[in-house]
Amino acid sequence: MSALGTTWALGLRPRWIRGKRLAVSPMPRLGEEEKIANMFNTVVSLSPPSEHVLSGGYDPRALPRLKPGIKIIWRPIGEYNAPTLIDIVKILKELREPVLVHCFRGCGRSSVIAAAWLMLVEGGSLPETLAEISTRAGCGPETTPQLSVLEAFDLARRAGLLEKLSREYDVDDPVPEYLLLLAKSISAITGDDIVEEARKAFSRENELRLVAEKLANSLDYKVSRVTLRSETLVIQVWIPRRAHPSNVQRSGERYDELSEELQSILRKIAGKEINVSIEPRDPEDVPWL
């Protein structure tokens, strides 16, 4: 057992998503650097340094010495959590195939990047893509932030917004993801076209932006899910995006005032009463799918 409370790194076990273009894998082991360098032109590690070191994992910094020009993209993300939307967009722009994507087990976090890549290169729907990832990788997204960021990415892709997101937004800005998740829910209420709703949401005068900005200002990047439950917009709040549950303390915050503010704005947008329920979860209460 390692200090992570898990078994040691499983080692390089590439599961190819498409041909020899992109593979996901559990954490490679120390000593497998040469094998990685021989197989891949880009390595995306979604593991914090502790997962590399405490599990007997490989050292990504050694790869450029073995293969000059190999691209290392290191985006540490806490276990069970997800990258930000702009993280995903920017990572995909940097890839040079063949690509290795890994986290510790090669499942939840890795599957998010693999699914976004597959949707981008093949244009399939999110449900089709998730089924394909599960078949080829043996697992897929596991928690609500992982699924939600993929829903936002899928809608941004269909609405032709990816270049705008890459160019105009910082990687830590939650507003784009919140706008897309809100547009998805509001279109289900109003019956408007979801893609057009997403495009309108990014115009400066759109009132949905006010809702997204209020969420960002009040909750930072802690919204892990936005769903409809009957006539209620349910906003699930967990830990900050990328953080690990063990590194975050309980907040004990209540959001009654914010819920009322959002209800008032959404009533004007939708032309009907929409209840808002903000549901915080404790850090250890992982929001599994």
Each residue's pLDDT tens digit, 214-238 = 999 999 999 999 999 988 999 999 9
CB 253 within 8 A of CB 267: no
User: Which helix (H) or strand (E) is 214 found in, with range?
Assistant: helix 207-219
pLDDT of residue 5: 52
Q: How confident is the model at residue 121 (pLDDT cuts 50, 70, 90)?
A: very high
Class at the top of the CATH hierarchy for domain 15-139: alpha beta
Q: How confident is the model at residue 151 (pLDDT cuts 50, 70, 90)?
A: very high
pLDDT digits (tens, 9 = 90+) for 157-203: 999 999 999 999 999 999 999 999 999 999 999 999 999 999 999 98
Dihedral over alpha carbons 30, 33, 39, 42 (to 10 degrees): 100
Q: Residue 167 burial by CB count (10 A; 0-12/13-18/19+): exposed, middle or buried?
A: exposed
pLDDT digits (tens, 9 = 90+) for 125-142: 999 999 999 999 999 999
CB 133 within 8 A of CB 118: yes
pLDDT of residue 2: 40
pLDDT of residue 213: 97
What is the pTM (predicted TM-score) of this model?
0.96
DSSP state of 281: -
Q: How confident is the model at residue 4 (pLDDT cuts 50, 70, 90)?
A: very low
pLDDT digits (tens, 9 = 90+) for 26-73: 999 999 999 999 999 999 999 999 999 999 999 999 999 999 999 999
pLDDT of residue 147: 98
Domain extent listing, the chain: 15-139, 157-280
